[in-house]
Structure 1
Amino acid sequence: MDDSLDALIGGNLVVLLFAAFVILCIVLGVRIVPQSEKHVIERFGRLRAVLGPGINFIVPFLDKVAHRISILERQLPNASQDAITADNVLVQVETSVFYRIIEPEKTVYRIRDVDAAIATTVTGIVRAEIGKMELDEVQSNRAQLISTIKASVADAVDDWGIEVTRAEILDVNLDAATREAMLQQLNAERARRAQVTEAEGKKRAVELAADADLYAAEQQAKARRVTAEAEAYATQIVAKALADNGIEAAQYQVALKQVEALTAVGQGPGKQTIILPAQAMDVFADAFKLLKGRG
């Protein structure tokens, strides 16, 4: 009876141990990788696989998770480095770099300190690129400089399984002496522009005054031309009348003017008694005949 009980207990213990072994194998063989990570698997110290997000299976007791690598985008601490431009101006450039790991097997086996390596690479590239440009170009072409630095850094860290997502130049600082010299230059340029603007204003005023005088002269010339044309037209009318009617037209005009003159004298202020010479009556008679004849 005791032997049967011992055998039963021993058999149950074996089953329990086997069940525990199976559970342990499942626990060690099933790996759930978060969405933001990748796991590097080694077998006997050598790279075996890289597990992506989700459920993965490995060989228990042979494979192990050697590295858990975050694939989230990272930002290096803001770095400041000195650089000398092509026109020998010392500037202090503050940069910021964003990157993410896309091939963990390269990152963990090819570089020890990723952040330090990228920072050193950025420093060298920034100094080299700024050394090719003058200070004015650095200030005005910052977008182009950033693009060039990003491309150069991306090429340099490609062997490390890293993708540079963004590179920024936060600030370009100058030493006090250079800032003072630039300020003086800026003030001189502003003064020059003010003088040029004032001179252009005076020039424009003179041009406008000349245009006004020219316009007035043109209008006066037009008026004189119109008057001359009117007088010439009147002369042509009189000449045509003389040519058509001969001396009678001339006598008619003279008689008409004499009548108008006498009429004006008669309508003047004062007494209305008018003494006319004998020739005046002849004038009235001639004018009447001419008027009657033309009627």
Structure 2
Amino acid sequence: MTFFFILLFLLLILGFFSIAIVRQGTVAVITIFGKYARVMAPGLNFKIPFIEVIYRRISIQNRSAELTFQAITADQANVNFKAMLVYSVLNQEEETIKNVAFKFIDEASFMQALTRTIEGSIRSFVATKRQSEILALRSEIIEHVKSQIDTLLESWGYHLIDLQLNDIAFDEVIMRSMAQVVASSNLKAAAENEGQALLITKTKAAEAEGNAIKISAEAEKTAAQLRGQGVALFREEVAKGMAESAKVMTAAELDASLILFSIWTEAIKHFAENGKGNVIFLDGSTEGMEKTMKQLLAVEQMKIAPK
């Protein structure tokens, strides 16, 4: 009976050490006496107790790491980088898993090699660029790193999924100088915009003033033409009236100078009422009246002469 219990106990121990459970998202590398034997898939697995040993469990899920390091540009400016990388095992093939399991002594050694490789790649790229170029070359830096380490990582059994440069910062002195450059550029742009706006405003004002002067001149020209036409019509009508009066008086055998005398007296009356102290010289002699009468009769003769 005692032997039976001992045997049962040994069987339970053997059964316990024969069962291996591999979690989802991982695989287990089995060795026999220290030599690679096989790979266990996720789930319930069986192994030979005390002979087959789980050497290492490897995650096949995506993993991430954050890096912080410093680089120096071609013009000796210090640049501080914060990067986040996402990587994973290349695939679940046996050779790939063997590379991952045995290429490095442990996970810490692999991470150290990975981070130092990425830092070296970024530093070599930054060393060829000037400080003023770095901020605009974020995507170029990432592409450079991927092209440099993709083949190397594949030889280790890994694949770089993504690399993000979350922060690129310079020393405080450089940051202040960059801020001053940006501020001065903004002030220059603002001054240029203000100058352009002022130029446009003055140009428009000058155009408006020129148009106003032009319109005023056109209006004055038109008014002068109308005034001249009015004066001409007035003079024509006066001449017609005087000529008609002269004809009537001549037909009645009356002295036409009576007309001029009447106009002369009316003019003097008008000047006296509205002159406001102005001095006006009038030719009231008989010779002047006769001369004017002859001129009016000549005008009338020209108007009634056959054409």
TM-score, with structure 2 as normaliser: 0.58
Q: Where does residue 201 of structure 2 map in the other structure?
A: 208
8 Å Cα contact 1:121/1:156 also seen in 2: no
The yes-or-no answer on 1:54 pairing with 2:43 is yes
Q: Residues 130-279 of structure 1 correspond to what in structure 2 (within 5 A)?
A: 130-175=126-171, 179-180=172-173, 183-184=176-177, 186-187=179-180, 190-191=183-184, 193-194=186-187, 197-198=190-191, 201-202=194-195, 204-226=197-219, 228-229=221-222, 251=240
CA positional deviation for 1:143: 3.9
Number of residue equivalences: 239
* Cα deviation digits, residues 223-276 of structure 1 (max 9, x gap): 43355457668989999x9xxxxx889848x99xx9xx9xxx9xx9xxxxxxxx
Q: Which string of whole-angstrom CA distances, capped at 9 and with x for unpartnered residues, describes residues 169-203 of structure 1?
A: 3544545xxx4366346536634653564365345
- Residue 93 in 1 paired to residue 81 in 2? yes
The equivalent residue for 1:291 is: none
- 1:127 and 2:120 equivalent? no
Match of 1:117 among 107, 113, 120: 113
SS at 1:123 equivalent: helix
| CA deviation after TM superposition for structure 1 residue 127, in Å | 1.1
The equivalent of 1:38 in structure 2 is: 27
- Structure 2 portions without partners, runs of 5+: 91-95, 245-262, 274-307
Amino acid at match of 2:26: E
Unaligned runs of 5+ in 1: 1-8, 242-246, 269-295
Q: Percent identity?
A: 20
In the alignment, is the contact (CA less than 8 A) between 1:99 and 1:164 conserved in 2?
yes
Note the aligned Cα RMSD (angstroms): 4.4
Paired residues of 1:79 and 1:119 also in contact (CA < 8 A): no
Structure 2 CA distance for aligned equivalents of residues 184 and 135 of structure 1: 12
Structure 1 length normalisation: TM-score?
0.60
Partner residue in 2 for 1:108: 101
